[in-house]
Amino acid sequence: MSSEETLVEKKTKVLIKLRGYKVLNKEEIKNAISYNIKMKDKRIGAIVVSEETEPRAREINEKRKSLGLSPLPIVTVKMVLSEDHYPISSTRIWFEEIDREGHLL
C-alpha cells in the first residue's frame, strides 16, 4: 500500500480482498468504464458524478455519441465535507469513522 493512502483506502482494500473482490488500479477502472457494456444500455437516464470525476462523464458521453447513442445528462454533486474536512462517504460511515452528518466518532 502506498504511504499516501488514507486509512479509509487501506481499510477498503483489506475489506475488498477479504470478500474476494479484485482491487482495480486507476488505469483498470478507466478502461472498465471506457468499454463497459452498460455504456450501451438505453435504460440509463443520467450520469451522477462528483466534481472530481466530471471529466470522465464527458468522456463517457463522447463514447456514447460515437456508438450512435444520445448523450446522458450529467449530474455533478459537490462533495460535502465532514468535521475533519474530508468528504463524507458511505465507506467512512460504514467504517464508523464518521456519522451520516460528518461528525467524527
3-class secondary-structure state, position 87: strand
Give residue 105's pLDDT. Answer: 94
* Rounded-to-integer distance, Cα 47 and Cα 30, Å: 15
| pTM score | 0.51
3-class secondary structure, 23: coil
Q: pLDDT (tens digit, 0 to 9) for every residue of the chain, 105 residues total?
A: 445 666 666 666 666 666 665 555 556 556 655 555 566 666 667 888 888 888 988 988 898 888 888 888 888 888 889 999 999 888 899 899 999 899 999
pLDDT of residue 2: 45
Residue with cell 450512435: 68
CB 9 within 8 A of CB 34: no
